[in-house]
């Protein structure tokens, strides 16, 4: 079977010469039946709804990639949960500090701060431990308790222990080679008064229990032959 021959497409308005058609524009209007389409649609040509424009990005993407890799910060969706206080630690519990400057000292637990740290005191007059914050990971809770009902600790929070930022002084040409004189940090009188306010009722409660003052003043340590896992605190 022979393939069908394609007919050449013939224009309705053939050119007389290049750019000039045989029929006028008004003649072609009737010849193409545009008048009937217009009459059918209420005197105007039908028009389709425009397609919604694609979202144009606010910032145009760069034409070239950067020479070095640019690190983008990762989005951290982690929300910190409040630290759960160990069941063995309650207000008035005597704790043993396991690390830091006061390692081995026995202190009295007052309350847990919003950061999760524990507010403790020696008292300072008995064993030299001032009001300070301690992480509960570095303490051992004992079965010994002290009555702290007369101690007011509402004033103390994490802001109370925050350090004030100090501006560095610029050195002149003459001071550059001189040795720096270190200014000693002087404890404000207000904090000294707060320490006395907390310790006064606490020491009264401690002195009311036999040998408790001596127990708090003694430093905890392991001796030869002592097995930590068998100790009862």
Element (H, E) at 97: strand 93-97
What whole-number distance in Å separates Cα of residue 97 and Cα of residue 134? 8
As a whole-number percent, the residues of the chain with pLDDT over 90 amount to 42
What whole-number distance in Å separates Cα of residue 105 and Cα of residue 96? 6
pLDDT confidence bin for 103, thresholds 50/70/90: very high
pLDDT confidence bin for 71, thresholds 50/70/90: confident
pLDDT for the residue 180: 52
- Residue 38, exposed/middle/buried by CB under 10 A (0-12, 13-18, 19+)? middle
In the predicted model, is pLDDT for residue 220 greater than 70?
Answer: yes
Q: pTM for the whole thing?
A: 0.61
What whole-number distance in Å separates Cα of residue 37 and Cα of residue 31? 12
**Range among 15-19, 107-111, 157-161, 183-187 rated most confident:** 107-111
pLDDT confidence bin for 97, thresholds 50/70/90: very high
| Helix residue ranges per DSSP H, 32-176 | 34-40, 124-127
């Amino acid at each position: 079977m022979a393939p069908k021959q394609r007919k050449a497409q013939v224009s309705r308005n053939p050119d007389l010469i290049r750019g000039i058609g045989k029929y006028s524009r008004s003649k072609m209007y009737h010849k193409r039946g545009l008048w009937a389409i217009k009459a059918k649609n209420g005197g105007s040509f039908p028009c389709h709804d425009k397609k919604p424009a694609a979202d144009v990005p606010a910032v145009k993407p760069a034409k070239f990639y950067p020479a070095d890799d640019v690190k983008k910060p990762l989005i951290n969706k982690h929300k910190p949960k409040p630290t759960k206080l160990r069941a063995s630690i309650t207000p008035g519990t005597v704790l043993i500090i396991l690390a830091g400057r006061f390692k081995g000292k026995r202190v009295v637990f007052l309350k847990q701060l919003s950061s999760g740290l524990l507010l403790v005191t020696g008292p300072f007059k008995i064993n030299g431990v001032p009001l300070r914050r301690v992480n509960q990971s570095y303490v051992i809770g004992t079965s010994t308790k002290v009555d702290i009902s007369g101690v007011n600790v509402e004033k103390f929070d994490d802001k109370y222990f925050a350090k004030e930022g100090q501006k560095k002084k610029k050195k002149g040409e003459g001071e550059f080679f001189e040795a720096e004189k270190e200014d000693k940090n002087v404890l404000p009188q207000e904090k000294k008064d707060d320490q006395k306010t907390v310790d006064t009722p606490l020491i009264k409660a401690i002195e009311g229990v036999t040998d408790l003052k001596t127990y708090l003043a003694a430093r905890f340590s392991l001796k030869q032959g002592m097995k930590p896992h068998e100790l009862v605190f």
